Amino acid sequence: MANRRTTSRDLAQIAIFAALIAALGLPGTITITAGVPITLQTLGVMLAGGILGARKGTLAVAVFLLLMTAGLPLLAGGRGGLGVWAGPSAGYLVGFLVGAWVIGILTARILPRYPLWQGVAVNFVGGVVVIYLFGVTWLGYKLGWGTALTSAVSTLPGDVAKCIVAALVAKQVHRSYPGLIVGASTARPPAPPNEKVSR
């Protein structure tokens, strides 16, 4: 019975974060260079990995991408369907999956304390470096490296801001609800030598 409850809770969390990623596309897009729109959905990917962990965070992104591929207009700007995978932004979508997994793995290593600067760094590695690796590579192949690099430079400041916001949210969530990421340490850090420990 306990396993069934855990599974139901996991599925609910995955569904909620898949919906969150979709909802973050509702404000629409800003296109600075040809090819890739700037959206808030990468923030949802960072939150999924940073709050749910590698397995559930990646599954949340996978559910979002499967629904989008099936034709639901879940990407920012109301895009969806198989044709998206042939477009210039397809590499970023693959990066969403890998990025959420990397963020989840690294977040588990900084819990339970979750120092804010480390959280920002984790989000930057998974949510910027990893996603850009896939996204810029595919965009360069489709539209040329000049366009790809210009796009990356123009979106970088906004993505750094998302790293900070996601870390602030994740830190508060893990403080309020410890144990969300399975396998992360939940033990209290040892007290300093000069600190009196009550018995």
Q: Where are the domains of the chain?
A: 9-25+36-176
Q: Do 85 and 69 meet the contact criterion of CB atoms below 8 Å apart?
A: yes
In this structure, the chain runs to a length of 199
Q: Are 105 and 36 in contact (CB under 8 A)?
A: no
Phi, psi of 181 (to 5 degrees): -100, 115
185 pLDDT tier (thresholds 50, 70, 90): low
Exposure string of 161-173, with b = 16+ CB inside 10 Å and e = fewer, is ebbeebbebbbeb
Which phi and psi (to 5°) does residue 59 adopt?
-65, -35
Task: Say what the pLDDT of residue 193 is.
Answer: 54
Q: pLDDT (tens digit, 9 = 90+) per residue, 76-97?
A: 888 999 999 999 999 999 999 9
Per residue in 57-69, pLDDT (tens digit) is 999 999 999 999 9
Q: What is the pLDDT of residue 2?
A: 43
Q: Is the pLDDT of residue 198 over 50?
A: no
CATH assignment, 9-25+36-176: 1.10.1760.20
List, for residues 26-44, the tens digit of each pLDDT value: 876 555 554 455 789 999 9
Q: What is the DSSP string of 66-103?
A: HHHHTT---BTTTB-SGGGGGSTTHHHHHHHHHHHHHH
Apex 62 CA angle, 129 and 103, nearest 5: 35
Supply the pLDDT for residue 98: 98
Place of tokens 């690099």: 149
Q: Please provide the average confidence, as pLDDT, over all residues in the chain.
A: 88
pLDDT score of 1: 43
pTM above 0.75, yes or no: yes
pLDDT-derived band at 5 (thresholds 50, 70, 90) equals low
